Amino acid sequence: MTLTLASQGAPERRTTVANVDATDAGAAAERAPAAASFVFLWIVWAGLLAAAMLVGHLEGHAAPWPTALRMASSVVLVITAWWACASLRAAAVGPFALAIAVGMTFGAVGDFFNAGLLGFVPLADPTLGGIVAFALGHVAYITGCLWFGRTAGLTNRPALIISVAGWQLIGLVAWYAVVMSGTERRALVWPALPYSLLLAGTAGVTAGLALQQARLFALALGGALFLASDLMLAFELFRGPFAYDTECVWLTYGPGQMLIVFSIISAAAALQEHRRRDSRNPV
């Protein structure tokens, strides 16, 4: 009788395993179109940015077409972020995706301010509009990252404190060296200080998370590239143009924003891994 039960149980176990495999295959098939759309959006973004740099080199970056292509590349990242947010709205990573989408949207608004395309907004200096928009975007980024850190169990306080403090020091020194010693746009010198420290805060928080979860390295690199691009833009604004300034700014800023947006995917995987580990080791 024992042998009979065993022989009856074996097919049942095989059936269960087969069902799990079928479920996994079905889930993979459902994820395939979403993955393909992200690849497509990345190719469109990269193509627009590359075209903007090429056409700008030929016609001048202030010409209408290069400007339009740069703005279009930012809009594609906004679309990508909101597409990720919609795709993952029911997933655990949903709030993080929403924060990144909001942050990228404010970033695109900042791009339009800096390009002089929002002149109808009554500001003494359009750059101030860009500073405010980017600052709001980074508040969203930091909020999302802090939420993600708590949710994913990335709560190593010393790692976060050391990382944030180190990047704050970098931001302060960079502001003094680039902005404070500049001779142009003196009215924006002091508003640029908290803004620089805020961007350094994003770099610090993302680096603190990456120190605890290797999947988030791209997120941390994105935060660092954003700060680097802002420092080069500040150099241009406060100290005057330099050779290949537009290329330097956009080839750090664009990839920085792209890495932050596409980190939604790696964050989702990291959070899934954390929850799977918790389910195997219940408290």
What SS3 string covers 75-143? HHHHHHHHHHHHHCCCCCCHHHHHHHHHHHHHHHHHHHHHCCCCCCCCCCCHHHHHHHHHHHHHHHHHH
Give domain status of residue 108, yes or no: yes
Domain that holds residue 169: 77-280
Q: How far apart are CA 168 and CA 73, in angstroms?
A: 29
Q: What are phi and psi of 177, to 5 degrees?
A: -70, -35
Mean pLDDT of the chain: 87
Q: What is the pLDDT of residues 212-248, one digit of tens each?
A: 999 999 999 999 999 999 999 999 988 888 999 999 9
* Residue 122 backbone zone (phi > 0: left; psi -120 to 50: alpha; other: beta): beta
State the pLDDT at residue 112: 96
Token pair in block for residue 134: 């980017």
Model confidence, pTM: 0.86
State percent of the chain over pLDDT 90: 71
Q: What is the pLDDT of residues 83-124, one digit of tens each?
A: 999 999 889 999 999 999 999 999 999 999 999 999 888 887
Give domain status of residue 102, yes or no: yes
Give domain status of residue 9, yes or no: no
Tell me which residue of 107, 149, 118, 64 sits closest to 261, measured CA to CA.
107
Give domain status of residue 34, yes or no: no
pLDDT score of 264 more than 80: yes
Tell me which residue of 206, 192, 208 sits closest to 156, measured CA to CA.
208
Gyration radius from the chain CA atoms: 23
* Residue 190 confidence class, pLDDT cut points 50, 70, 90: confident
* Residue 2 confidence class, pLDDT cut points 50, 70, 90: very low
Q: What number is the average pLDDT over the span 243-258?
A: 96
* Residue 14 confidence class, pLDDT cut points 50, 70, 90: very low
Give domain status of residue 170, yes or no: yes
Give domain status of residue 35, yes or no: no
What is the domain count for the chain? 1
Give domain status of residue 33, yes or no: no
Give the residue with greater pLDDT, 143 vs 183. 143
pLDDT score of 21 more than 50: no
Q: How far apart are CA 199 and CA 168, in angstroms?
A: 9
Q: What number is the average pLDDT over the span 14-36?
A: 46
State the pLDDT at residue 127: 83
Give domain status of residue 68, yes or no: no
Q: What is the pLDDT of residues 136-151, one digit of tens each?
A: 999 999 999 999 999 9
Q: What is the DSSP letter of 162?
A: H
